[in-house]
Structure 1
Amino acid sequence: MPTPARVRADACPGVFAPHDAADGPLARVRLPGGAVSAAQLRALADAAEECGDGDLHLTSRGNVQLRGVTRPGLAARLTDAGLLPSPSHERVRNVLASPLSGLHGGLADVRGLAASLDAVLCSTPELASLPGRFLFAFDDGRGDVAGEGADVCWRALAADEGTLLLAGGDTGRRVRLADAVSALIEVALEFGRVRGSAWRVAELDDPAWRGTPVPRGDVPVPVGMIAGVAAGVVPRFGQLSAEQARALAEFGPALVTPWKSLVLPDVPADVFERLGFGGVPLGTSACIGRPGCAKSRADVRADAVFRPGLRAHFSGCERRCGKPSQSHVDVVAEADGYRVDGRWVPFDEMEGKL
């Protein structure tokens, strides 16, 4: 059943239109395919220190946010680093790609497709008006990003052929790898023509925009050394200090994943010893909570429970910002406690109830 179309304006944050959070303006920097060079990581670290709260906040779309941006100069810094190739399109450059593609596993190598799509997207004036929530994805066949809620996704079925998904449903349309970018751009253009007030494909009433639902597999977050060819780094709450970001940059380019983590290609076996963080998977995530968000009822990051095998998301309110798409324990703050998968739990009993 389609979701009702939105009636308010699209306020998805960017660099030129930040979100006014309780801790100051929040700017979201798009990284198509999650790709960020070492030089860009350093530039983001510098921008976080000079313009924001000093940290990089990873997002569930493989992007980066800077919080507390109260000092000028952010756009100029990002432009110089190549992170704002088209000011008119900056909020619509939302592209996921399987982060381990071409490194380990998968049916097809989708490296480079996100950058190719981004180039076409930024050179197509009509696509500047896409909603900031519209999401593209390229899945190399393992099913990792295909389950992340993309509006349009190419998912590999073989090394040179894939299928087109709309809002997670398989349309049955087969598309060659070489035509994947043009197929996704075609869908985005058509969506722009017919969307009316809809922000997402799932909100369209037309059954032509439906596909056969694809069951989501429980794909593990890449963490630790991966087949000796890459490293999965999982910072606590997806938050990197500027110092940590610079340490990562010493190992070259990185890929920000939709799971608030990073993949570092081609790194030495002692990478975690040299980094000093990020080698252990963290099953618990949380929104920013208090004091960063005025809508939050609690300091959820202080209250979050970490335990081996526990996958939970702590939310300060019913919006559940940043919640993972994988199965998890749903923990939502209320006046004097938390609602845990629908069950009321007082603050002082949280540890024993999860």
Structure 2
Amino acid sequence: MVVRDRNDACPGVVDASPADDGLIARVRLPGGRIDAARLRELADVARRFGTGDVDLTARANVQLRGLREADLPAVAAAVAAAGLMPSRSHDRVRNILASPLAGRDPHALVAADTVVTAIDHALCAAPELTALSGRFLIGVDDGGIPIASARHDIDLLAVARDTFAVHVAGHDTGRRVPAAEAAEAVVRVAHAFLAERADSGAWHVRELPAGAAAFAAALAAGRARADRPTDRPRAARPPIGVLRQSDARSAVGATVPLGRLTQRHIAALVALDADLAITTTRGVVLRDVTDPAATVAALEAAGLPCDPASPWLGVTACSGLGACRRALADVRADAARHALGRPRTAAATGSPPAARVDPHRGDPRRVDAHRDDPRRDDTHWVGCTRACGRPAGATLMVAREDGTYEAVPAGNPALPALPAGPPSPTAPTSPTAPTDRS
């Protein structure tokens, strides 16, 4: 049983986390949604107080780096004024995922945009829920682009028109709720989780003392439980390129190289004045587009590829040397070298287990595929064995002291016995609990 004897160190806006390049503030974007006006204001905050860049996370949130302690009140005030922090007390618990086409997907069974908004309001209206971990994750799967995952604490899965099944950590609770009652159902389950975790300090449903299955059974209370896996078949690739909406308009998905929006990127997005969604693959989707060809051209010109065969697709990295004192290498430079040195439409060959790779020479055994190939090999490059920000399904490239990388295949929870780098104040660890990388 996992016992947490501390609160998680996941940053927010009010509670920023230290790093080598300054403080990190994470701005929650329920459903990954942000409009052009708010993105412009966020970019202004990043330029005035931080590095100027805006980083995307695997939970479809954004981060500002390089902040100073003295500037945090001004940063928080600016983020709140932009409408991106409706509750200071609930800053870190607004972790809600949804499809980037929520409310627009032609295959959706539920209008997920309105459900996400309702859940966000309900969370912020419940004072007790400030006790949730900053990593407690809620998914709203509308039946279109798959979102639900056994790694999520609560998932609403659309099973019929305007009807959700309630899952916890991949287990069906047997509860079926209309979309209008979905937010209330989420709050009830969150309260039940806090009561069940007792003194264990669990951050996630899967860490509960009696286990996630027992928690789901208790929530069922006599209801029939299918208990089928939450993970649905994944789409062949992330939402990149021109995408069809349920109305006459389109959406356009773009890759953000290494998940970092520069001021140039942001200026292009703001100029397009489109409704925007951040994706869990650290990309962006512009929604309600009337001229997709012109939108693609503008994004490509700004360095945001809209090609599903882009070499940047599926390559991510942690902050690396200079930003984190644990890092053993400039992983972002090495990841970029890897991306730009690989063919755009090569045949997938898979990953050798625990292979040692020299990023300066490349590795002929590791070839990434066109993203339409389900055998594609995503890579996440990290400076130490804490493996921060690892996406699901990615081969982990762990920096070694000798300048090479250890390749840990996707699905392998074991990390190589390598030095984790010098101690860092960014993530204190519990002697009784492993570091949480979800």
Check whether TM > 0.5: yes
Q: Decide whether aligned partners of structure 1 residues 89 and 76 sit closer, same or farther in structure 2, where only a CA change above 3 A counts.
A: same
For the pair 1:121 / 2:127, whether they are aligned, the reply is no
Per the alignment, residue 335 of structure 1 pairs with 401
Structure 1 ranges of 4+ moved more than 6 A:
none
- Which one of 296, 300, 304 corresponds to residue 272 of structure 1? 296
For the pair 1:101 / 2:102, whether they are aligned, the reply is yes
Aligned-partner residue type, residue 213 of structure 1: P
How high is the sequence identity, in percent, across the aligned residues?
Answer: 41
- Which one of 333, 338, 342 corresponds to residue 302 of structure 1? 333
> For the Cα contact (< 8 Å) 2:36–2:275, is it kept in 1?
yes
Deviation at 1:240, TM superposition (A): 0.4
> For the Cα contact (< 8 Å) 2:115–2:179, is it kept in 1?
no
Write out per-residue CA displacement over residues 103-145 of structure 1, whole angstroms, 9 at most, x where no aligned residue: 2333322112111111111111111221111111100124622
Write out per-residue CA displacement over residues 175-221 of structure 1, whole angstroms, 9 at most, x where no aligned residue: 22222111111111111222231111110122432454334422221
Per the alignment, residue 241 of structure 2 pairs with 224
> For the Cα contact (< 8 Å) 1:109–1:140, is it kept in 2?
yes
User: What are the ranges of 5 or more consecutive residues in structure 1 without an aligned counterpart?
Assistant: 345-354
Count residues in correspondence. Answer: 341
Which stretch shows the higher mean deviation, 10-19 or 60-69?
10-19
TM-score (norm 1): 0.91
For the pair 1:173 / 2:175, whether they are aligned, the reply is yes
Deviation at 1:273, TM superposition (A): 1.3
> For the Cα contact (< 8 Å) 1:103–1:229, is it kept in 2?
no
User: What are the ranges of 5 or more consecutive residues in structure 2 without an aligned counterpart?
Assistant: 217-226, 345-368, 370-376, 410-414, 417-438
1:266 aligns to what SS in structure 2?
A: strand
Deviation at 1:286, TM superposition (A): 1.2
Deviation at 1:32, TM superposition (A): 0.9
> For the Cα contact (< 8 Å) 1:48–1:242, is it kept in 2?
no
Per the alignment, residue 314 of structure 1 pairs with 381
TM-score (norm 2): 0.74
- Which one of 38, 41, 45 corresponds to residue 40 of structure 1? 38
Per the alignment, residue 14 of structure 1 pairs with 12
Per the alignment, residue 365 of structure 2 pairs with none
For 2:2 and 2:135, locate their aligned partners in 1 and report how far apart those are by CA, in whole Å. 15
Deviation at 1:44, TM superposition (A): 0.5
2:160 aligns to what SS in structure 1?
A: coil
Per the alignment, residue 86 of structure 1 pairs with 87
Per the alignment, residue 201 of structure 1 pairs with 205
- Which one of 59, 62, 65 corresponds to residue 60 of structure 2? 62
Per the alignment, residue 269 of structure 2 pairs with 248
> For the Cα contact (< 8 Å) 2:149–2:155, is it kept in 1?
no
Asked which structure has the greater CA Rg, the reply is: 2
Aligned-partner residue type, residue 130 of structure 1: L
- Which one of 271, 274, 283 corresponds to residue 261 of structure 1? 283
Q: Decide whether aligned partners of structure 1 residues 7 and 213 sit closer, same or farther in structure 2, where only a CA change above 3 A counts.
A: farther
- Which one of 223, 230, 235 corresponds to residue 256 of structure 2? 235
For 1:114 and 1:172, locate their aligned partners in 2 and report how far apart those are by CA, in whole Å. 21
Aligned-partner residue type, residue 386 of structure 2: R
For 1:238 and 1:159, locate their aligned partners in 2 and report how far apart those are by CA, in whole Å. 35
2:238 aligns to what SS in structure 1?
A: coil
For 1:168 and 1:319, locate their aligned partners in 2 and report how far apart those are by CA, in whole Å. 25
For the pair 1:287 / 2:304, whether they are aligned, the reply is no
> For the Cα contact (< 8 Å) 2:150–2:169, is it kept in 1?
no
For 1:148 and 1:103, locate their aligned partners in 2 and report how far apart those are by CA, in whole Å. 25
For 1:243 and 1:85, locate their aligned partners in 2 and report how far apart those are by CA, in whole Å. 28
> For the Cα contact (< 8 Å) 1:160–1:177, is it kept in 2?
yes
Deviation at 1:148, TM superposition (A): 7.0
